[in-house]
Structure formats: C-alpha cells, structure tokens
C-alpha cells in the first residue's frame, strides 16, 4: 500500500476528514503543549545560488587550515594530502564507509582494506591490523576491553600513563565505568606533562608506572609520542608488564613510526593509533580513523573487521571478511565488541596515502615535521619570558610556557590569522600559561618566523606589566 502524503491544503483536509478531525492542531492534541514543535518564523525560501552565497559567507567566518597559519594539533593534524587521494577515494566503487559483507560485490573495497591492513601492520611492527574503529580514542578504549577479555575478566586493574590524551582518557572512563575496572594513573609531579617538566620527572613516571603493575593488572597503556609530544623508551616498562602477566598497549602516532622504532619491535601486544594524519583532512573534527593492531595470539579476541586473502576453487585470488562475523557483534554481553560501524572510507584514504608516499616519502614527511618542530621550539624558547618545557626529545608538538594568559594570546593571534597552538588550560585549568604548539611539514620556515615575531611583541608587554 502506498503511503498517503498530505502536501497541499486539499490533501490535508482529506486526511483530517478521514480521521474525523477539524484541524492539524487536533492531530497533536495528545502531546503536552510544552513538548510540541514550536511555530518557526522562517524566512522566505532562497534559490540555489542564493543558498550557496549564504553558506559561503558563513563558512568564511571559520578559521580554516588553508587561510590561517595553523600550529594547533593535540590529536588532529594538518598534513598535506596528495590530490590522488581525493581522486581515487571519490570513485563510486569506493565511496562508502560501510562494511563490505558481500564479497562477490565488494572485491575492490575488500582488497583496498587488505592492503591498508598490510601496510599498517608493517608500520606498527605487528602481526594483525583490523579495518577499523571510529577514532584513536575509541580504538584505545576497545584495546583495554580486549585486554580485560583476554584475562577472562579476572584482572580488574588497568594502568594508564598520564601522557595519554585527556580526551582518550575520558573515552576510556566512559567505556569502563560500569565494568568494575579500576583505572590507575601516576599522580601530579610524576607526569611527563607536569607543570615543571624535566627529564627526571619523565623517568619518574616510568618508574611509578612499573610500581603500579601487579598480579591484578590486565594491561598497561601508554602513548607514543605522549600527548605533550615526548618520545619515551617503553621497552623496560613493556618487560615489567609481561613479567606480571599483563598486556602492553601503545597508542602510537603512525607518522612518527616512519622515523622511530615501532611498538611491535619491543614487544607491544596491542597497538592503536589515530589515522587522520594519513591522507585525511582535519574537516573541523572528523571523520577520523581508529587504527588497531595486535599479535597473532590475540586475533580471536580482536574487535572490528578483518579483510583476508583467499583462493577460490579455480585457484583465483579473492578477498573476504574473515574470523569476525556480523553476528559476533550483536551478541550483547557475549560479544567481543558492540561497536559495529567502521571507518572504511577513512581507511581507504589512508591506504592510498601510504601507497603513494611509500616508505621513503613517509619518512621524509616525518623528518621535515620533526626538524621544523625543533626549529620552532629553539626560536620560541629563546624569547624573554618564554620557555619550552620538553627537555626530552619530542615529535611534532611541544609545550611552551608563556608570560601571558594563553587565551589572550590565542585571541590576539586570531586577528592576524594565526592559530598559535592549543591552550593546555582546556584540559588542565591550572595551566593558564602553557600552550601546546604543533608544527608539521605544512608550516614553512617563514610561517614559524612570523609566529616568533608576533610572540616577540608579547615579551615587552609582559615585562612592562611586571
């Protein structure tokens, strides 16, 4: 039966007569008045060109990465996206984020996901990578649940580095809130992001994390580089976790691994990461790509989808989803994971990016990023009243202490079309003078020098205020 849609006054009258009602208002009389849809005072309809003009004018008020000198990071990064990524990922055969359940109709998508998994596994130094999770935060939270399940839910303690992204920590707290899992983190003063950051304190956190690990610990989770940009050696911590029967989890930035040792090389059991820097734009906050890798021994506990390679009866190569069936994810409390939707399109873009850049191209981008961040830190740290708090090596980001309130600096820089970083007071209210500065290959030396010149003007003002 075709549904009746009342588009005109005569149609509405026919509908109301059939229902025995005198007005549309009577139709909704059962709904309390305070919950009814309000009478909207909408402007007259616009033509398509007029709508585009209005939307363009509204969009021009945004601080976009193309029109501003952007030094903000904190989990989302402005890296160059080769044009071939847009060209290939927008093809009709690929332009979907949905899981390809029917292999006979999805060979292209399945092969692309298989290639993504293969390249990501090589990057992480791990056996298996899935395809995929919502973002880096949910991937890490799923990793903790996986470790808990791997321990048959008999170990209730999870040790978290204070170098984890605060928003990742918040997602973890949401995931684990009603499961009886205890989250343990080193207190202030031993954090790599403490107000007075020194190399000694960085070492102290590793030692404190080791002291928190015991027979009740299901896993230990760290971030590389840390939220504050620090590069730390976690090999000894990994050994301590394994010695106590706990799994070791690393939330790793994939681009940094083009330069530094992958977590798999020092024994990590699970590696997660945010794949947004790999061929995906900032897009005002999403979509992102949750990367998830594990050792072969844990594959049966792994959430998400796995694209595998197979042979048909005639010996022809084909691709299928393997090990993880749809039904596994809808078994309520018995399921490995109840997070079903993946980020297939973002994973596809990452696969194209990795294939186009290759090992040498990826390493070059990481090297430029590393060197320019060091250059910026060297220049900014020498300004009177400013200091860089990272004494250990860092990648892409560093913490800069300023002589003025960082939000005041942000507002004044915005007028010059500069976003100088992310104020740490957003997550740590007491840190009103600390800003997390991010530098990528998209920040030229002239951009960095311009930022230094602007910050120089704050030096004199801060001195005069004293």
- Residue range 394-439, pLDDT digits in tens: 999 999 999 999 999 999 999 999 999 999 999 999 999 999 999 9
Tell me the C-alpha distance between 340 and 331, whole Å: 12
What are the domain boundaries of the chain? 69-80+358-465, 83-354
**In the structure encoding, which two tokens stand for residue 255, read together?**
């681009």
Residue 284 · residue 151 · CB < 8 Å: no
Res. 193: pLDDT tops 50: no
Res. 272: pLDDT tops 50: yes
Tell me the C-alpha distance between 318 and 308, whole Å: 9
Question: Could you read off the pLDDT of 360-387 as tens digits, one per residue?
Answer: 999 999 999 999 999 999 999 999 999 9
Residue 254 · residue 122 · CB < 8 Å: no
Res. 283: pLDDT tops 80: yes
Residue showing tokens 């979509």: 287
For the segment(s) 83-354, the CATH number from 3.40.640.10, 3.40.50.11540, 3.40.50.10490, 1.10.260.40 is 3.40.640.10
Same fold? 69-80+358-465, 83-354: no
Tell me the C-alpha distance between 134 and 290, whole Å: 5
Q: What are phi and psi of 26, to 5 degrees?
A: -65, -30
Residue 17 · residue 24 · CB < 8 Å: no
Res. 6: pLDDT tops 60: no
What's the rounded mean pLDDT across residues 216-237?
96
What's the rounded mean pLDDT across residues 263-270?
97
For residues 6 and 86, which has the higher predicted lDDT (pLDDT)? 86
Res. 333: pLDDT tops 90: no
For the segment(s) 69-80+358-465, the CATH number from 2.102.10.10, 3.90.1150.10, 3.40.605.10, 3.40.47.10 is 3.90.1150.10
Residue 225, classed as helix, strand or coil, is coil
Res. 29: pLDDT tops 60: yes
Q: In percent, how much of the chain has pLDDT > 90?
A: 67
Determine the pLDDT at residue 194: 36
Res. 353: pLDDT tops 90: yes
What's the rounded mean pLDDT across residues 457-466?
68
Q: Which DSSP symbol is given to 115?
A: H
Res. 196: pLDDT tops 80: no
Determine the pLDDT at residue 201: 43
Q: Which DSSP symbol is given to 234?
A: -
Helix (H) or strand (E) holding 157: strand 157-160
Q: In percent, how much of the chain has pLDDT > 70?
A: 89
Indicate the average pLDDT of the chain: 88
Give, to the nearest 10 degrees, the angle between helix 445-465 and helix 406-414. 130
Determine the pLDDT at residue 204: 59
């Amino acid at each position: 039966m075709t549904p009746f849609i009342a588009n005109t006054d005569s149609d509405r009258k026919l509908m109301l007569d059939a229902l025995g009602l005198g007005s549309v208002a009577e139709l909704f009389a059962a709904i309390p008045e305070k919950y009814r849809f309000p009478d909207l005072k909408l402007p007259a309809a616009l033509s398509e060109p007029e709508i585009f003009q209005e939307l363009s004018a509204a969009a021009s008020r945004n601080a976009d990465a193309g029109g501003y000198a952007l030094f903000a990071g904190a989990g989302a990064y402005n890296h160059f996206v080769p044009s071939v990524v847009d060209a290939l990922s927008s093809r009709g055969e690929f332009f979907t984020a949905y899981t390809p359940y029917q292999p006979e109709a999805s060979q292209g998508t399945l092969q692309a996901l298989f290639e993504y998994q293969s390249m990501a596994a090589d990057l992480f130094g791990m056996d298996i990578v899935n395809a995929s999770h919502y973002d880096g935060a949910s991937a890490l939270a799923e990793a903790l649940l996986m470790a808990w399940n791997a321990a048959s839910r008999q170990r209730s303690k999870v040790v978290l580095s204070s170098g984890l992204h605060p928003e990742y920590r918040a997602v973890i707290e949401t995931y684990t809130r009603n499961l009886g899992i205890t989250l343990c983190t080193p207190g202030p003063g031993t954090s790599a992001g403490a107000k007075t950051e020194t190399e000694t304190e960085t070492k102290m956190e590793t030692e404190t994390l080791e002291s928190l690990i015991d027979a009740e610990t299901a896993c230990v989770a760290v971030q590389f580089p840390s939220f504050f940009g620090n590069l730390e050696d976690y090999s000894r911590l990994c050994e301590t976790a394994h010695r106590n029967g706990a799994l070791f989890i690393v939330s790793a930035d994939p681009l940094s691994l083009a330069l530094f040792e992958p977590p798999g090389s020092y024994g990590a059991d699970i590696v997660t990461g945010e794949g947004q820097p790999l061929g995906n734009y900032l897009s005002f906050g999403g979509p992102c790509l949750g990367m998830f890798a594990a050792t072969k021994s844990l594959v049966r506990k792994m959430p998400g989808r796995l694209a595998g390679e197979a042979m048909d009866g005639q010996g022809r190569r084909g691709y299928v989803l393997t090990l993880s069936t749809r039904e596994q994810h809808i078994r309520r409390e018995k399921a490995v994971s109840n997070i079903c939707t993946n980020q297939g399109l973002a994973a596809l873009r990452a696969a194209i990016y990795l294939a186009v850049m290759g090992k040498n191209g990826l390493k070059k981008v990481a090297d430029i990023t590393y060197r320019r961040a060091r250059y910026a830190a060297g220049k900014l740290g020498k300004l009177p009243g400013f200091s860089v708090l990272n004494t250990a090596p860092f990648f892409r980001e560093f913490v800069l202490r300023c002589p003025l309130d960082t939000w005041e600096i942000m507002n004044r820089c915005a007028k010059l079309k500069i976003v100088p970083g992310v104020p740490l007071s957003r997550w740590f209210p007491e840190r009103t003078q600390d800003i997390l500065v991010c530098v990528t290959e998209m920040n030229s030396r002239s951009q960095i020098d311009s930022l230094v010149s602007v910050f120089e003007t704050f030096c004199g003002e801060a001195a005069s205020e004293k």
